[in-house]
Amino acid sequence: MTLVESWNGTAWSIVTSPNVRRLLAPVVGMASTTNGDSYWLADSAGDISTHGTAVNCGSMGGHALNAPVTHIVATPDGKGYWQVAADGGIFSYGDAGFYGSMGGKPLAAPVVGLAPTPSGHGYWLVASDGGVFSFGDAVFSGSMGGRHLNQPVVGIATDSATDGYWLVASDGGVFSFAAPFLGSTGAMTLNQPVVSMAATSDGGGYWLTAGDGGVFAYGSAAFHGSMAGQPLNAPMVGMAADDATGGYWLVASDGGVFSFGTPFLEAG
């Protein structure tokens, strides 16, 4: 029996979950389905936990890894997901296809994120130095690799309207490639570094979230609240958009989930 603590944007809730899969390593990210009724959490050891109607399609939990998992991303149809490791290794589950990886290849910096193409038949990887690697039907439109960065890149998101992509750095600087620049926190003083970004389903906006749970919304992305100024047991590490409601979830390294404009989903 496990107690799961969550913030729904107004108050804390405690859910008793006899079936929750306890993640033993730090959580590194979350991925959501398109209908908003489920999401997955992933830890650095490659294990996952399912929430709502999400199905466990497999994981790297219990397997030896050459490098820790850094991110999890759902396929566009929500019937599968990819895990990506810091060495660029890709692990595909459900209907997520394997289109190549950087595993076993020399990297100038660790891989920190993955973004799928709108078709789901390809993806981009991004490293902390801003290098971008494209696979499948993903078109390479540029990168920050080899260019000066004030802070390392921490995430990537797909612009579904243009098939381009955005990169975000820990200072909130946003870099646009075949996608419109909609704003950033690059010139702002932040209480905590930005750790993740998520795009709206129409490609017209994106959110950034910081380690203290602060959320910054741009373009068509609506602001539904944040955890800025609230006590946290652990820092935020990721976020996921709910395409059904236009809201979003934040996740902390201890697996705490915080819901804004979208339902909190009990572990499956």
What residue ranges define each of the domains in the chain, with the CATH number in brackets?
A: 2-260 (2.130.10.10)
Residue type at 159? D
Residue 85 has pLDDT above 90, yes or no: yes
Integer Cα distance of 115 and 86 in angstroms = 15
Return phi, psi of residue 63, to 5°.
-105, 150
Q: Which residue has the higher pLDDT, 93 or 22?
A: 93
Say what the pLDDT of residue 105 is. 96
Residue 201: count other Cβ atoms within 10 Å of its Cβ: 17
pLDDT digits 0-9 by tens, 107-134: 999 999 999 999 999 999 999 999 999 9
Integer Cα distance of 130 and 235 in angstroms = 23
Residues 216-240: what's their mean pLDDT?
96
Residues 228-234: what's their mean pLDDT?
94
Residues 31-40: what's their mean pLDDT?
90
- pLDDT interval class at 35 (50, 70, 90): confident
- pLDDT interval class at 56 (50, 70, 90): very high
Instruction: Give Cα separations from 173 to 83, 181, 196, 224, 233 (angstroms).
Output: 25, 11, 12, 22, 27
Residue 64: count other Cβ atoms within 10 Å of its Cβ: 6
Say what the pLDDT of residue 21 is. 53
Integer Cα distance of 45 and 63 in angstroms = 8
> Which residues are CB-neighbours of 15 under 8 A, at least 6 positions away?
3, 4, 6, 264, 266, 267
As separate numbers, helices (DSSP H) first and strands (DSSP E) second, the chain gives: 0, 20
Q: For residue 251, list its beta bridge partners.
A: 238, 257
Residues 93-97: what's their mean pLDDT?
97
- pLDDT interval class at 50 (50, 70, 90): very high
Structure tokens at 91: 């692990």
What SS3 state is found at 101? Answer: coil
Say what the pLDDT of residue 2 is. 36
Say what the pLDDT of residue 151 is. 97
Residue 17 has pLDDT above 60, yes or no: no
Say what the pLDDT of residue 226 is. 96
Structure tokens at 262: 């979208």
pLDDT digits 0-9 by tens, 126-168: 999 999 999 999 999 999 999 999 999 999 999 999 999 999 9
Say what the pLDDT of residue 22 is. 67
Residue 268 has pLDDT above 90, yes or no: no
Half-sphere exposure of 74 (CA within 13 A, CB side): 25
Residues 29-33: what's their mean pLDDT?
95
Residues 236-247: what's their mean pLDDT?
96
Say what the pLDDT of residue 95 is. 96
Check if the beta carbon of residue 126 is closer than 8 Å to that of residue 153.
yes
Mean pLDDT of the chain: 91
Residue 34 C-alpha from the chain's centroid: 14
Return phi, psi of residue 174, to 5°.
-115, 135
Say what the pLDDT of residue 24 is. 85
Residue 8 has pLDDT above 70, yes or no: no
